[in-house]
Structure 1
Amino acid sequence: MSDARDKKARIAALRPGYRADLDAGTDRFLAPRSTACPWCASTRLTPRLRTTDLLQHKPGRFTLDACADCGHIFQNPRLTAEGLEFYYRDFYDGLGEQRMSGTFGGREAMYRGRAEAMLPHDPAPKTWLDVGTGHGHFCAAARGVLPGTAFDGLDFTDGVELAAREGRVDHAYRGAFPGLAPELAARYDVVSMFHYLEHSTDPDRELRAAHEALRPGGHLLIEVPDPQSRYARLLGRWWLPWLQPQHLHFMPVANLRRRLTDLGFTVVAEQHAEAHDPVDLLAAVWLVLDHTAPRDDAPWLPEPPGALRRTLRTALLLTGVPALLTATLLDRFAVRPLSHRLHLSNAYRLVARRT
């Protein structure tokens, strides 16, 4: 059976389950709206962004609120446990596993750069835990930088078990980090969280778990989207790091530095240009094209698209190729060298030592 036929069959098999979920209503996917900032408890909240699921196109509308006092941005109302399960399903695993594995598997230079960020602070850590490791591609690439380090991975999905089977991680932990932290107490020289904290329902609990899992003198390496990037305003809902509805929290760097200090860390490095991923314009163009074109087939749609809709989609995407190429060139060669100077870096990285 060809890949296209196999995908079509898998979608058809999943469609009744999604239809049952949607027939039960989507109100249960969102919790009651919060009246206070989850970071500082201020009640001075203002709407920052309203959008939809621009990647999977699952039904729903989502709002990000900003705190007028501390600048924290968060999804409000937030997804419930049922909502998280619904919107994550078939994104990183299941139907989306092959696509995401290909996406994350081809970024070795970025992964090596992340590992190299630790060299000035601990050039030879013995043990490293990568939280939110996915399929373990970072750990596999990081071994080329730190060949003497044992890399373990932790994640919610079965991708971490795949990472262990493929030899990308030495040991796999599947579950919630705060729940697993007591058995990992003081075991690691380094704990990393690369684009993980923004997915968490409670970032403070995750940071406390990291403190528990680290040995005294060990280091926490965090990379998250930068909500203060100028791209966040210039591109609006088409800024990829908003990633609704998966990203629940956006922390200005000053907020995260203070919280780490309060928890018993000393921040020893802050990086912006090094953490920037030069894809903002390319992603924005793709999101607009994909949003405008007729939908590709997906199991949460009531029925597969007909021949006319498929043809129109293909034609529109082909007409967008010049714009995609132009955006790629601008991202990599015009913006990237000046990203920090122009305040366009889409992420920041902190290294903090457990004191």
Structure 2
Amino acid sequence: MSKQSEIDALRSAYQRDLADGVDRFFEPRRTACPWCGSGRLTTRLRTTDLLQHKPGRFLLDRCQECGHTFQNPRLNETGLDFYYRDFYDGLGEQRMSGTFGGRTKMYRGRAAAMLAHDATPKNWLDVGTGHGHFCEAAREVLPGTAFDGLDFTDGVELAAREGRVERAYRGAFPELAPDLTAAYDVVSMFHYLEHSTDPDDELRAAHRTVRPGGHLLIEVPDPQSRYARLLGRWWLPWLQPQHLHFVPVANLRARLTELGFTVVAEQHAEAHDPVDLLAAVWLALDHTAPREDAPWLPRPPGALRRTARAALLLAGIPALVAGTLADRFAVRPLAHRLRVSNAYRIVARRD
């Protein structure tokens, strides 16, 4: 089936979902910080879905007490299902598989972060593994380690079929954790915690799953990056509406200590993914151009709008090239010094 045929087949279902508007996709607005309970909240960002362009407006609030940033009002289960649909699977599966599958060097770097702390882990659980591309690449760094994957999408089952993970767990980590008590030398969460509805539950599940003396490896977007402020809504790691929580590094270190971990490494430059300027230019161009066809649009765009979109994106190529060069050669070597690293990584040992 062609992509256009898939879009046409899905359109009626999406239009039924949108018939009553998008307000039903949200929980009531919170009046207190979900991390520390403070009522001192301020709006940090107002934006829309800049990747899929599904309808809706999204707000991020920041706690003035602890610095935690979170989506408010937050998507409910119906909303999460609607906005995740056809992003990692369905219409988006091939695109996302290509994106994640081409990042082998980055995955090896993540695996190498464990070498100084445990160079020979017997087994490793990657939570939020998606299609398992990290596990496949990490075997080159740790050839004696058995890698398993956990995710709530069917991507983890695909990862098992393709041999990227040895064992696949499909479901919510906090619900599966009791059956995995002290089962793993290493548990990793790469850009997973920001997607969770309750990060504290996920951290408790990790503490249960890591054996005593084992390690938890976490990588998340850094809300204290200067790019988060300078680029505003065009900063890719905001990724609304999927990213629900943005945890400052001091908050995460403190919570891990409370749970019974010892933080043994904190990395910023090493976790930086040099795509900020390129992504900002692309998001702005894509937002400005007429929409490409998608099933959540009431009707396909006509020939004139398709031509106008192609022309604008073509005109934007020099800006995209400039953004790429600046990311990789001008900013990357100075990312930590300039405090623009877009992510941080923590390695914590379970006491």
User: What TM-score range do you get, normalising by the shorter chain?
Assistant: over 0.9
1:16 matched to 2:12: yes
CA offsets 1:289-343 (integer angstroms, 9 cap, x no match):
0000000000000011111000000000000000000000000000000000000
Q: Take 1:184 and 1:24, find their aligned partners in 2: how far apart are those partners?
A: 41
The aligned counterpart of 1:28 is: 24
Q: How does 1:129-140 map to 2 (within 5 A)?
A: 129-140=125-136
Question: Residue 116 of structure 1: which of 98, 112, 127 is its match?
Answer: 112
Q: Take 1:144 and 1:93, find their aligned partners in 2: how far apart are those partners?
A: 27
Describe the SS at the equivalent of 1:227.
coil
Question: Residue 306 of structure 1: which of 302, 305, 318 is its match?
Answer: 302
Q: Take 2:56 and 2:23, find their aligned partners in 1: how far apart are those partners?
A: 9
The aligned counterpart of 1:229 is: 225
Describe the SS at the equivalent of 1:257.
helix
The aligned counterpart of 1:270 is: 266
Task: Please give the TM-score of this superposition, normalised by the length of structure 1.
Answer: 0.98
Q: Take 1:84 and 1:78, find their aligned partners in 2: how far apart are those partners?
A: 9
1:163 matched to 2:156: no
The CA RMSD over aligned residues, in Å, is: 0.5
Question: Residue 35 of structure 2: which of 35, 39, 45 is its match?
Answer: 39
Q: Take 2:189 and 2:279, find their aligned partners in 1: how far apart are those partners?
A: 23
The aligned counterpart of 2:290 is: 294
Q: Take 1:51 and 1:323, find their aligned partners in 2: how far apart are those partners?
A: 23
The aligned counterpart of 2:101 is: 105
Note the C-alpha offset of 1:26. Answer: 1.2
1:239 matched to 2:235: yes
Is there any run of 5+ residues in structure 2 with no aligned partner, and where? none
Note the C-alpha offset of 1:28. Answer: 1.1
Q: Take 1:22 and 1:198, find their aligned partners in 2: how far apart are those partners?
A: 26
Note the C-alpha offset of 1:24. Answer: 2.7
1:85 matched to 2:81: yes
The aligned counterpart of 2:194 is: 198
1:250 matched to 2:246: yes
Task: Please give the TM-score of this superposition, normalised by the length of structure 2.
Answer: 1.00
Q: Take 1:27 and 1:300, find their aligned partners in 2: how far apart are those partners?
A: 16
Aligned length: 351
Question: Which contiguous aligned blocks of 4+ residues in structure 1 show a shift greater than 2 angstroms?
Answer: none
For 1:298, the aligned partner's letter is A
For 2:97, the aligned partner's letter is S
The aligned counterpart of 1:324 is: 320
Describe the SS at the equivalent of 1:228.
coil
For 1:74, the aligned partner's letter is F
Question: Residue 337 of structure 1: which of 323, 333, 348 is its match?
Answer: 333
Q: Take 2:260 and 2:25, find their aligned partners in 1: how far apart are those partners?
A: 36
Q: Take 2:90 and 2:310, find their aligned partners in 1: how far apart are those partners?
A: 25
Query: Once the two structures are aligned, what percentage of the paired residues are identical?
Result: 81
Describe the SS at the equivalent of 1:341.
helix
Question: Residue 220 of structure 1: which of 206, 216, 231 is its match?
Answer: 216
For 1:31, the aligned partner's letter is E
Q: Take 1:68 and 1:104, find their aligned partners in 2: how far apart are those partners?
A: 35
Describe the SS at the equivalent of 1:350.
strand
1:153 matched to 2:145: no
Note the C-alpha offset of 1:82. Answer: 0.3
Note the C-alpha offset of 1:27. Answer: 1.2
Q: Take 1:24 and 1:347, find their aligned partners in 2: how far apart are those partners?
A: 37
Q: Take 1:29 and 1:135, find their aligned partners in 2: how far apart are those partners?
A: 27
Q: Take 2:75 and 2:260, find their aligned partners in 1: how far apart are those partners?
A: 30
1:259 matched to 2:261: no
Q: Take 1:24 and 1:315, find their aligned partners in 2: how far apart are those partners?
A: 35
